[in-house]
């Protein structure tokens, strides 16, 4: 099983700042099959990025994903108030398709 570790666990930033979230895998994620999701309180998760770097339909271009192998990054270039939420990475390469533990992005 591939274990995904997200860091930091909580990130405190202000609107307009840049956010960088990390996801490290215990084994190589084949074909960069890694996705990022955003979950706001009381809502279902929403797909942001798949295959490490491809933005899902309707996702603003301030969200970008990068990485390969075991190290992946989600970057939000300029934070908007609605971006403060919990973010999860998930590998969809090797069953079981594990999630990271989540990273909370909070307003400073």
Max Cα-Cα span within the chain: 38
Task: Confirm or reject binding of residue 8 to other proteins (CB under 8 A).
Answer: no
Work out the number of other CB atoms within 10 angstroms of the CB of residue 7: 14
Q: How far is residue 43 from each of residues 4, 14, 25, measured CA to CA in Å?
A: 23, 23, 26
- Which of 12, 17, 51, 108 is close enough to bind other proteins by CB under 8 A? 51
- The nearest distance, CB 62 to other proteins, in angstroms, is 20
Spatial strand order of the sheet with 4-7 comes to 4-7, 19-25, 71-76, 63-68
- Which of 35, 74, 79, 105 is close enough to bind other proteins by CB under 8 A? 35
Task: Confirm or reject binding of residue 38 to other proteins (CB under 8 A).
Answer: no
Residues forming contacts to other proteins in the complex (CB under 8 A) are 1, 33, 35, 37, 39, 44-47, 50-51, 56, 88, 90, 92, 95-102
């Amino acid at each position: 099983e591939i274990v995904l570790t997200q860091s930091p666990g909580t990130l405190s930033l202000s609107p307009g700042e840049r956010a960088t979230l990390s996801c490290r895998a215990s084994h190589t994620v084949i074909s960069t099959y890694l996705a990022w999701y955003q979950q706001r309180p009381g809502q279902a998760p929403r797909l942001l990025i798949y295959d490490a770097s491809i933005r899902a339909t309707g996702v603003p271009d301030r969200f970008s994903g990068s990485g390969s192998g075991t190290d992946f990054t989600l970057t939000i270039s300029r934070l908007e108030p609605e971006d403060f939420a919990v973010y999860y990475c998930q590998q969809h390469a090797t069953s079981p398709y594990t999630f990271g533990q989540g990273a909370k992005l909070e307003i400073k």
